[in-house]
Amino acid sequence: MIPYDKRSGKIWYNNELVDWQDVKVHVLSHGLHYGSCVFEGERVYDGSIFKLEEHTDRFFYSAERLGFKIPYSKEEINLASNKIISAQNVQNGYVRPVAWRGSEMMAISAQQTKIHVAIATWEWGSYFDPNLKIKGIKLNISNWRRPAPNTIPWDTKASGLYMICTLSKHEAEAQGYTDSLMLDHEGNIAEATGANVFFKDKNNDLHTPIPDSFLDGITRRTVIEIAKSKNLKVNERKIKPDEMSNFVGCFLTGTAAEVTPVSQIAQHNFKVCDTILDLSDSYQKVVRNKKAA
């Protein structure tokens, strides 16, 4: 795989299209040292960004929660996002808008720092190995927990929130798993390291944690809409880890993960059942502007 700093083409950087390898961030940027950085992850399907406006809305909300203002309008960011996928000729890939505080100040306070914005895009296939997605991926249970909602801006895509996700995923991979399930501060099931989680019971009802200390994913909301259109009951509630033995199916949802079946979480095994495969197929139809089954 080509390292991301060695790729070619253009990146939208502070309202200019800059050669990919010429985009620079100073080592003393506040965003690097103190985590004052927000981002989005968006998918391109057949040359179009799925739910671009919703992602941009969340991008601005995340910045506001971290106390800084993105120096462009939402319309300008939407136009820039479409401009860069056109410049890069990305048909089926990923878009990464990112905004961060610059290097004018180097301490906790950052009132006078410049806000930088960049948008990059590249062709990108499945987040998980396609063969694993067919069989279902395996997760361990992380030792790290999602923090209490009064300790972090939990409803944002702020870079600092993902540090424990990286630690969790690395530990899972070292143990032979694909990803890790994280619990919340109360010990309830929360999410995977970069995706929301759903379970299916023997009555074909779905259960998913209430997103009150972790991100309510755009893909999560889309899949709930699809499920309800199929007359599947969706229960949003607190879920204890020991309840997993009562479920027969499990899957993850996320912009990168899309709809990914899970075959195992720690000692709990799940079937990659028709209901989950049908939701995955219907999601693909929705994102490609085709009629869902």
Residues 164-197 have pLDDT tens digits of: 999 999 999 999 999 999 999 999 999 999 999 9
Residues with catalytic roles: 157
Q: Which residue among 79, 94, 123 closes a domain?
A: 123
What's the pLDDT at 290? Answer: 63
* CB atoms inside a 10 Å sphere around CB 155: 18
Looking at the structure, tell me whether residues 81 and 201 fall in a common domain: no
Looking at the structure, tell me whether residues 204 and 260 fall in a common domain: yes
Asked if 282 contacts 226 with a C-beta cutoff of 8 angstroms, the reply is: yes
What's the pLDDT at 100? Answer: 98
Looking at the structure, tell me whether residues 118 and 183 fall in a common domain: no
Looking at the structure, tell me whether residues 23 and 73 fall in a common domain: yes
Looking at the structure, tell me whether residues 15 and 70 fall in a common domain: yes
**Cα 137 to Cα 209: distance, rounded to the nearest angstrom:** 19
Q: What is the CATH number of the domain that holds 51?
A: 3.30.470.10
What's the pLDDT at 105? Answer: 95
Asked if 239 contacts 188 with a C-beta cutoff of 8 angstroms, the reply is: yes
Please state the φ and ψ torsions of residue 212, each to the nearest 5 degrees.
Answer: -110, 5
The answer to whether position 293 is within a domain reads no
pLDDT for residue 75 is more than 50: yes
Which residues does 8 contact at the CB level (< 8 Å), separation at least 6? Answer: 20, 21
Indicate the residue type of 38: V
The answer to whether position 292 is within a domain reads no
What's the pLDDT at 293? Answer: 39
Q: Which residue among 73, 106, 123 closes a domain?
A: 123
pLDDT for residue 59 is more than 90: yes
Tokens representing 97 are 């808008």
Looking at the structure, tell me whether residues 84 and 15 fall in a common domain: yes
Looking at the structure, tell me whether residues 62 and 113 fall in a common domain: yes
Average pLDDT over residues 228-245: 98
Looking at the structure, tell me whether residues 169 and 190 fall in a common domain: yes
Domains of the chain: total: 2
Average pLDDT over residues 18-39: 97
**Cα 6 to Cα 242: distance, rounded to the nearest angstrom:** 46
Domain hosting 102: range is: 4-123
Mean pLDDT taken over the chain: 96
What's the pLDDT at 77? Answer: 98
Asked if 51 contacts 218 with a C-beta cutoff of 8 angstroms, the reply is: yes
Please state the φ and ψ torsions of residue 258, each to the nearest 5 degrees.
Answer: 55, -125
Which residues does 272 contact at the CB level (< 8 Å), separation at least 6? Answer: 134, 135, 136, 249, 261, 263
Tokens representing 233 are 């009951």
Asked if 100 contacts 160 with a C-beta cutoff of 8 angstroms, the reply is: no
Average pLDDT over residues 83-112: 97
The answer to whether position 238 is within a domain reads yes
Looking at the structure, tell me whether residues 85 and 214 fall in a common domain: no
Looking at the structure, tell me whether residues 166 and 32 fall in a common domain: no
DSSP string, 119-142: EEEEE---SS-HHHHHH-EEEEEE
Q: What is the CATH number of the domain that holds 227?
A: 3.20.10.10
Q: Which residue among 100, 123, 146 closes a domain?
A: 123
Asked if 93 contacts 44 with a C-beta cutoff of 8 angstroms, the reply is: yes
The answer to whether position 104 is within a domain reads yes
pLDDT for residue 115 is more than 60: yes
Q: Which of these, 187, 257, 259, 191, lies nearest to 223 by C-alpha position?
A: 259
Please state the φ and ψ torsions of residue 199, each to the nearest 5 degrees.
Answer: -125, 155
pLDDT for residue 292 is more than 60: no
Looking at the structure, tell me whether residues 28 and 66 fall in a common domain: yes
Looking at the structure, tell me whether residues 200 and 269 fall in a common domain: yes
Give the largest Cα separation in the chain, rounded: 58
What's the pLDDT at 133? Answer: 78
For residue 288, CA distances in Å to 45, 52, 53, 269 come to 6, 14, 16, 32
Instruction: Name the band, by pLDDT with cuts 50, 70 and 90, for residue 134.
Output: confident
